[in-house]
Amino acid sequence: MNNNNLKTIVETKTLTHALAFANSVVEKRNVIAELSHVKLSSKDGKLELITTNMEIYLSQKVAAQVISEGEIMVSTKTLNDIIRKISDNDVTLRVSNETDQLEILGKNCAFNLLTLHANQFPVLDDINVEATLKISCSDFVKMIDGTLFSVSVDETRYNLNGVYFYVKDEECCMASTDGHRLSVSVVKIANNASEFGVILPKKTLEEIVKILKDPKNIQLETEIFLSVNRIKFVCNDIIMVSKLIDGTFPDYQAFIPVENNYKLIINTKLLADAIDRVATITIDKFQAIKLILSKDLLEITASGETRGVAKECIPCSLDESNLCIFDHEDTLSIGFNPKYLTDALSAVLSATKANQVELYFLNASSPMLLKTLQNPKDVFVIMPVKV
């Protein structure tokens, strides 16, 4: 029998929100029972929810009416599934001393869940801080949105399986590459920030960006603490600790073109929508579209062996909503994987919300550089394909 008197009343909506984040961290097919559970701890007017997959540790504290203090472990998925289906404004969580089960009480419903003792939850040692950074959540989210999509999924290139995150010369930067494309996002920071360079796992960034995008957090700052092999984020009663990728990120600056002299200025959404329409025809394993640039017209073409051909023409125009300017007398034809283009354009629209983009080309076999006037240090480099 457990001497656990946990009893707390929590707003259902608040608990549902926190459990969604907690459940996202937990591995869905975990053979270790403790790693599929959330540790609940009621104390000092807060209910703390802690989950881990041994790579990421997440602690969240939510406001609660703590009637008696205590702690327990319960299946994250089961608790999440139950709480999100309860329509009452508040829910009571109580541990039965007779059965050690967690009782979940709504106005007209009750559940009794099997539990584990809280001392079975993995212990996390605090990190040995070597560098710190304070950054607005909106800036951090902007950098993630601008780079996460081009992380390599090739597990043999482990140093590319994350985003390179570093501070240097009063700038905070993120960069990622899968060998076919490169994405870089930069924000200015205070001049007293520690300089560092680490590789953040993709899963970590996927989880932290959800939390920082939350309306309760996006206007705040997040504090970042770094050690040799871990990173810690602190924001608004939320703590996330993650392992880092042990590796060296390539010198990506060498891959950014500096001599591309063909320049296309175009409305971001106009180009994204046109590529999306034309690419519909390319359902084959090898996806490619062709851009044919001339002084008066941009043509986007594609063909699919089992579907046919597609073409869309965008006349050159100075009108803002139909903006399309190609400042070269020669015609240039160049092929790309349409997904790489639409990913970059989507990142521009979500991360910087720039209405127009600038595309720089050298020839049909050299990488293309994409950037915006608003954020010229945010760049996307895409390798062409033969069409």
| 272 and 247 within one domain | no
Q: Give me the pLDDT at residue 3, please.
A: 53
* In-domain check, residue 387: no
Q: Pick from 37, 78, 85: which is nearest to 58 by CA? A: 37
| 197 and 273 within one domain | no
Burial profile 246-260: b = 16 or more Cβ within 10 angstroms, e = fewer = eeebbebeebbeeeb
Q: Are 85 and 13 in contact (CB under 8 A)?
A: no
| 261 and 160 within one domain | no
The answer on pLDDT for 310 being more than 60 is yes
| 140 and 68 within one domain | no
On average, the pLDDT of the chain sits at 94
* In-domain check, residue 125: no
* In-domain check, residue 272: yes
The answer on pLDDT for 41 being more than 90 is yes
**pLDDT confidence tier of residue 28, bands split at 50, 70 and 90:** confident
Q: Give me the pLDDT at residue 279, please.
A: 94
Q: Residue 293 belongs to what domain range?
A: 256-382
Q: Are 35 and 117 in contact (CB under 8 A)?
A: no
- Per the DSSP assignment, residues forming a β-bridge with 284 are none
Q: Give me the pLDDT at residue 1, please.
A: 44
* CATH (domain of 192): 3.10.150.10
The answer on pLDDT for 2 being more than 60 is no
**CA angle, 259 then 340 then 379, to 5°:** 40
| 246 and 264 within one domain | no
* In-domain check, residue 284: yes
Q: How many domains in the chain?
A: 3
| 309 and 215 within one domain | no
* In-domain check, residue 289: yes
Helix axes 137-145, 202-212, angle to 10 degrees: 140
Residue 190 DSSP class? -
The answer on pLDDT for 195 being more than 60 is yes
Q: 10 Å Cβ neighbour count for 45? A: 11
| 241 and 168 within one domain | yes
Determine the 3-state secondary structure of 184 from DSSP: strand
| The domain boundary residue, chosen from 204, 219, 252 | 252
| The domain boundary residue, chosen from 232, 252, 272 | 252
Q: Is 42 left (phi over 0), alpha (psi -120 to 50) or beta?
A: beta
Q: Give me the pLDDT at residue 98, please.
A: 84
| 71 and 14 within one domain | yes
| 216 and 189 within one domain | yes
Q: Give me the pLDDT at residue 178, please.
A: 97
The answer on pLDDT for 114 being more than 90 is yes
**pLDDT confidence tier of residue 193, bands split at 50, 70 and 90:** confident
| 308 and 241 within one domain | no
Using CB atoms within 10 Å of the CB of residue 309, give its burial: 0 to 12 exposed, 13 to 18 middle, 19+ buried.
exposed
| 365 and 265 within one domain | yes
* In-domain check, residue 126: no
| 267-300 pLDDT per residue, tens | 999 999 999 999 999 876 678 999 999 999 999 9
| The domain boundary residue, chosen from 223, 252, 281 | 252
| 139 and 107 within one domain | no
Distance separating alpha carbons of residues 206 and 137, to the nearest angstrom: 14
| 218-253 pLDDT per residue, tens | 999 999 999 999 999 999 999 999 999 999 999 999
